[in-house]
Amino acid sequence: MSSVYGRLPVSGHYLRKRLRFAGFARRLAAFALVLLVAAMVIYRLGAIAPQALIGLLLLVAAVASIALLISAVGLMRVWYRGVDGGRTAMGACFLALLALFPFALVTYLAFVNPRANAAYTEALAPEGVAATVATPPSTGWRSLFAAPTAPEQPSIVSGRRYVADAPRVFQAARMVVEDSGWQVEDIIAGDPSLPTAPKPAEGDLGISGLTGIPIPTPRDSVDMEAAADPLAVPDSDQYRIAAVARDLLFGLPSDMVIRIVADDGDTYVDMQSMSRSTGIDLGENRRIIEGFLTDLDTAMAGLETIAAGD
């Protein structure tokens, strides 16, 4: 018997331990990711207040951090001790990092942007921020622990100058505003400091001409479509557009002012943007202005190409 068994090859197997909490960490990370998406969608629908959104986001960050910690410990055990369950721990780690990515992005934006809730071009910057224009605001880790100075440290963006008349630039700005989907609050043609022409009383047929005296005109000569257009204004040497822009993620409003002024054949475009409900915009207002001016450059190039073809 012993001789027979002695001829058999040595065989056997090792008992490998398995990670106990890898599946739990993966479920936690998946829950945090689903809760993050649901919280943002519900907030955009207007079903919860900002304070509730902040509470949900803090819960997401806590749950995702716990899942990341458990999965990291599990991966270390897989690497050093050969414990089974590395695939599950890797999936949990990936889902947790995905849920924590928005928080890392917000931290990065807070690190590289000034602690402000507004952005201006040079000409529309308030007098109190003249020193900021000369000396750029400090960014980095020190600014995170400094006292909030939002009114004193706005983002300053260079305006635009075009070799074109003001009505042509206004036409391009109108196209950009319409494409951006901003809500137009008011528009003024001419110097805002000068008194405007009185509107016709209720029941009048309309106003003919640019004078301040209402002149009755036939109803069939009134362009009803143009009258309903908030950007349908007479030609002028300067314009001022007030609009409301909203960010893509949370839909937070920013009050926009666009000023178009003609000067000796050139036209200058200045802007300002200020967040209405937040004290720190993480650079959103600066990005809004830079995006609008970039789109305005493209629109002006298109109008010049059309004019050259004609």
Decide: 26 and 95 in contact? Cβ < 8 Å. yes
- Residue 277 has a pLDDT of 82
Closest CA to 72 of 49, 90, 98: 90
Token code pair at residue 180: 């951006």
Sign of CA dihedral 212, 265, 295, 276: negative
The H or E element containing residue 305 is helix 284-309
Tokens 């830079």 locate to 290
Q: Give the integer Cα–Cα distance in Å for 74 and 86.
A: 7
- Residue 195 has a pLDDT of 57
Does the predicted model carry a pTM greater than 0.85?
A: no
Closest CA to 238 of 255, 209, 263, 273: 263
Pairing mode, strands 118-121 and 155-157? parallel
Decide: 211 and 197 in contact? Cβ < 8 Å. yes
Alpha carbon distances (Å) from 127 to 76, 139, 154, 272: 57, 22, 12, 14
DSSP, collapsed to helix, strand or coil, labels residue 202 as: coil
Beta bridge partners of 183: 244
pLDDT digits (tens, 9 = 90+) for 145-186: 343 444 446 788 888 899 888 888 998 998 899 888 888 888
What letter does residue 210 receive in the DSSP assignment? S
Q: Give the integer Cα–Cα distance in Å for 48 and 40.
A: 10
pLDDT digits (tens, 9 = 90+) for 284-304: 999 999 999 999 999 888 776
Decide: 237 and 263 in contact? Cβ < 8 Å. no
Alpha carbon distances (Å) from 68 to 7, 57, 71, 95, 111: 51, 16, 5, 8, 23
Q: CB-based burial of residue 246 (10 Å sphere; 0-12 exposed, 13-18 middle, 19+ buried)?
A: middle
- Residue 33 has a pLDDT of 95
pLDDT tens, residue order, the chain (310 aa): 455 555 656 555 555 677 788 889 999 999 999 999 999 999 988 888 888 999 999 999 999 999 999 999 888 888 887 777 788 888 999 999 999 999 999 999 988 888 888 899 988 777 655 444 444 444 444 443 343 444 446 788 888 899 888 888 998 998 899 888 888 888 888 776 655 545 545 544 444 444 445 555 555 554 554 455 555 676 778 899 999 998 888 888 999 999 999 888 889 999 999 998 888 888 899 999 999 999 999 988 877 666 556 5
